[in-house]
Structure 1
Amino acid sequence: MNILSFTEAAPSQLLVFFPGKDYTESAETNDYHTKRGYFMKYLLLNYILEPTAWPMEPPAPGSVFHLSLSFILISLALLLAWKLRHLGEPQAIRLLTGLGILLFCCELYKQLFIYYIENNGHYNWWYFPFQLCSLPMYLCLFLPFLTARKRALLFTFMYQYNLLGALLVFAEPSGLMHPYWTLTLHGFFWHGILVFIGFFILFSGRTSSGNDVFLKTTALFLSCCAIAAGINVLSRQVALPPWQDADMFYISPFYPNTQIVFHQIAERFGISAGNIAYLAAIIAGAFLMKEISGAVSKHRKKSVKMTRHELL
């Protein structure tokens, strides 16, 4: 099958490739570009998505699958981050930009898989790519175009907020478990990459532990929360039932927070209370990450000072 024979097919012949769709003789279905779109969809479904739609029983949190894969990925992330900690700035930017491209390709596959395989051509806003752990995909792609000062801010943000988020997901991985192998592995490897990015930034000394920088990263976090809240409200207006509307950053104003502990807070004291407590906990966790990076920085400086003293 090639695009020439596909575009020469009559609309009724397209039923062979997309059964169940109503193709009638019209200018639209006879249009070359329309048929080319059908051909690309045919290739996507038959050669990429359907061949990789391997079903599985979703693993349970705390299962051997969860614990063993989490241990392997976090260990590899730590090892690679430590091995690559001496990379120069140009090499580090190329590495992180490359990871941003990899994350983008993985997310594109996930979105297409969910749209075509799981939801049969309907968009589920629940999977819109703007969660806290989605941000490194965008931030890493921005790095080559930013000044050194802005890059330093994003480095610190990805360490303080995204590494924290990735580690928490490994601890409570319910959102990673899917009835398909590729989606489940996508979630685990995605967060493994985030763990690598965070520890690479920490080990290479590219994170700041200053309070002024923490205020800036927190302002960036809250700005992203505002965007997430806007997506949640907007999706409520456009999502078609039975497909869910968005719950970006898990702060939907329409449902109790889905995260453990904060769900109970929301049910008892209201949705807003659960969301505020959740965001406050994330900021507190990021502050703890800042303190850890400060301790690591002091230890690094002390070690360098002792080494210089010994050489003298």
Structure 2
Amino acid sequence: MQELLERFFQASAWTMQTPVPYSPFHLSLTALGVCAAAWMARRLAAGPRKHVLFVCGLVLAASELYKQGFLYYIVNGRSYDWWYFPFQLCSVPMYLCLAVPLLSRPEYARARRTACTFIQDYGLLGGFMALAEPSGLLHSYWTLTLHGLCWHFMLIFLGLYCAQSGESDREPAAFLRTLPLFAACCAAAALINIAAHPYGNADMFYISPYYPNEQIVFHRIALEIGITAGNLIYLTGVALGGFICHLGCRYCLHSAKTLPDSRR
């Protein structure tokens, strides 16, 4: 079985020269992917939307299983790298999309809207920020590079879809209801980082207590004021970024609705 799986992944281990951030490859593919995500979100939000989120969750889960297998067999020679454990901020929308059918009953309507608001706010934040600083998405294998880029295109699609379909809440106060979920995810990430430390360099949510934050700007902050304080500032910045995305969705969609028909 191990040999069969390894042959499967070797069949798609197409190498490439690692793309350079902000190269024509990165910029052109990013522009195409973001435009396609926005177009699809608008089209699907106008139609039946019973299974859209769940199907997207299945697509993300299947692609993540492929990525984990590829890393295990091809990149790391049958050893597991905890750095790639699938529980980053950009992974959470996958789990929430898969949980949507469990929240379809009327008594769970508020929990579903909170989950969709989380996808809207933090999905857009994670998608755009990762594409703006894409060094972690660009690899020497075509499949890994395309996986990283397409994953974040999907996050942008999901965020815009939730906003335009009415699945999420866009009132400013609704963002506050996502904070307990964000805090729970941060706590889970911290526990994974600690539990996995003897086995590898897990850095879920980039808040490892063992070394400074790897994100640009926040790495310098952690070096200056310490890892714990730096992590708290980083998480505050992430929450603020999610709130900005929340307000941005509210403003853009409100503006679109108030445009005269001749300008739409």
- Fold match by TM threshold 0.5: yes
Residue identity matched to 2:218: F
Query: RMSD across aligned C-alpha pairs, in angstroms?
Result: 1.6
**Structure-to-structure mapping, 1:162-177, within 5 angstroms:** 162-177=123-138
C-alpha distance in structure 2 between counterparts of 1:77 and 1:210, whole Å: 24
**Structure-to-structure mapping, 1:60-99, within 5 angstroms:** 60-88=20-48, 92-99=49-56
C-alpha distance in structure 1 between counterparts of 2:251 and 2:151, whole Å: 28
Residue identity matched to 1:73: G
Tell me if 1:292 matches 2:229.
no
Uncovered stretches (5+) of structure 2, i.e. residues with no partner = none
C-alpha distance in structure 2 between counterparts of 1:156 and 1:246, whole Å: 27
**Structure-to-structure mapping, 1:106-121, within 5 angstroms:** 106-121=63-78
8 A Cα contact 1:205 1:297, kept in partner: no
In structure 2, the residue matched to 1:13 is: none
How many residue pairs get aligned? The number is 257
Tell me if 1:268 matches 2:228.
no
In structure 2, the residue matched to 1:23 is: none
TM-score under structure 1 length normalisation: 0.78
Q: In structure 2, the residue corresponding to 1:84 is in which secondary structure?
A: helix
In structure 2, the residue matched to 1:131 is: 88
Residue 94 of structure 1: how far off its partner (Å):
0.8
**Structure-to-structure mapping, 1:1-312, within 5 angstroms:** 40-46=1-7, 48-88=8-48, 92-146=49-103, 147-237=108-198, 239=199, 244-299=200-255, 302=258
Residue identity matched to 1:155: C
Residue 302 of structure 1: how far off its partner (Å):
4.1
8 A Cα contact 1:60 1:66, kept in partner: yes
8 A Cα contact 1:93 1:143, kept in partner: no
Residue 42 of structure 1: how far off its partner (Å):
2.4
Residue identity matched to 1:151: R
C-alpha distance in structure 2 between counterparts of 1:200 and 1:114, whole Å: 31
C-alpha distance in structure 1 between counterparts of 2:93 and 2:125, whole Å: 12
8 A Cα contact 1:161 1:286, kept in partner: yes
Residue 273 of structure 1: how far off its partner (Å):
2.4
C-alpha distance in structure 2 between counterparts of 1:255 and 1:118, whole Å: 24
C-alpha change, 1:93 and 1:41, in structure 2 (3 Å) is farther
Select the structure of larger CA radius of gyration.
1
Residue 207 of structure 1: how far off its partner (Å):
2.2
What are the Cα deviations for residues 124-169 of structure 1, in whole angstroms up to 9, with x where unaligned?
1000000000111111111011132221111100011111111100
What are the Cα deviations for residues 229-286 of structure 1, in whole angstroms up to 9, with x where unaligned?
000011112x1xxxx3200000111111111100111111111222122111111111
Residue identity matched to 2:111: K
C-alpha distance in structure 2 between counterparts of 1:164 and 1:193, whole Å: 12
Tell which deviates more after alignment, 182-191 or 78-87.
78-87
8 A Cα contact 2:56 2:97, kept in partner: yes
What are the Cα deviations for residues 5-54 of structure 1, in whole angstroms up to 9, with x where unaligned?
xxxxxxxxxxxxxxxxxxxxxxxxxxxxxxxxxxx2222222x2001111
Residue 180 of structure 1: how far off its partner (Å):
1.1
C-alpha distance in structure 2 between counterparts of 1:293 and 1:269, whole Å: 34
% identical aligned pairs: 47
Uncovered stretches (5+) of structure 1, i.e. residues with no partner = 1-39, 308-312
C-alpha distance in structure 2 between counterparts of 1:166 and 1:58, whole Å: 20
8 A Cα contact 1:93 1:144, kept in partner: no
8 A Cα contact 2:162 2:168, kept in partner: yes
Q: In structure 1, the residue corresponding to 2:167 is in which secondary structure?
A: coil
Q: Higher relative contact order at CA 8 Å, sep ≥6: structure 1 or structure 2?
A: 2
